[in-house]
């Protein structure tokens, strides 16, 4: 099972990081970020399967691909911003982590704006004039 591999890598990483943090905290941050990338790569194939399934269901339902692409990009930005912020926190840079999260939120708002405008336009068309 994939989860056992993820847990195994995480536990080995925790053991390695606990030894490194006291001796070489600068290396520990790099190892922590690298372990995050390794864990992501373990589950990336499953994520690709999920995206493919969602896209095929949306196509069958007649959903405009632009909307679904935007939603998937928003989710991606949210995950990446959370990962980046956590790496900053692991490095002891809490203030920088907050700024990474803020940047993610601003990017998400910008990406979602066309969807919000399309929804507002649809609502205005339905309402009596």
Q: CA-to-CA distance for 43 and 32, rounded, in angstroms? A: 17
Q: How many CB atoms lie within 10 A of CB 8?
A: 10
pLDDT in tens, 48-102: 888 889 889 988 888 888 888 888 899 999 999 999 999 899 888 999 999 999 9
* Confidence bin at 36 (pLDDT 50/70/90): confident
Q: How confident is the model over 106-118, as a mean pLDDT?
A: 91
Residue 29 has pLDDT above 90, yes or no: no
41 within 8 A of 99, measured Cβ to Cβ: no
Q: CA-to-CA distance for 9 and 114, rounded, in angstroms? A: 40
What pLDDT does residue 73 have?
92
5 within 8 A of 40, measured Cβ to Cβ: no
Q: What is the DSSP letter of 62?
A: T
What pLDDT does residue 99 have?
97
Q: CA-to-CA distance for 26 and 12, rounded, in angstroms? A: 19
Token pair of 53 as six digits? 């399934």
Q: CA-to-CA distance for 89 and 69, rounded, in angstroms? A: 30
Q: Name the one residue in this structure whose structure tokens are 């009596």.
A: 128
HSE of 118 in the Cβ direction (CA atoms, 13 Å)? 9
């Amino acid at each position: 099972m994939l989860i056992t591999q993820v847990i195994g890598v995480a536990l080995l990483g925790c053991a390695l990081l606990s030894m490194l943090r006291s001796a070489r905290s600068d290396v520990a941050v790099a190892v922590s970020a690298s372990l995050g990338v390794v864990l992501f790569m373990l589950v990336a194939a499953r994520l690709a399967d999920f995206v493919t399934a969602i896209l095929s269901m949306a196509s069958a339902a007649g959903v405009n691909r632009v909307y679904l692409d935007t939603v998937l990009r928003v989710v991606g930005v949210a995950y990446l911003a959370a990962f980046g912020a956590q790496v900053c926190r692991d490095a002891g840079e809490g203030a920088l982590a907050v700024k990474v999260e803020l940047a993610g939120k601003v990017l998400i708002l910008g990406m979602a704006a066309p969807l919000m405008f399309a929804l507002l336009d649809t609502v205005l068309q339905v309402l009596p004039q």
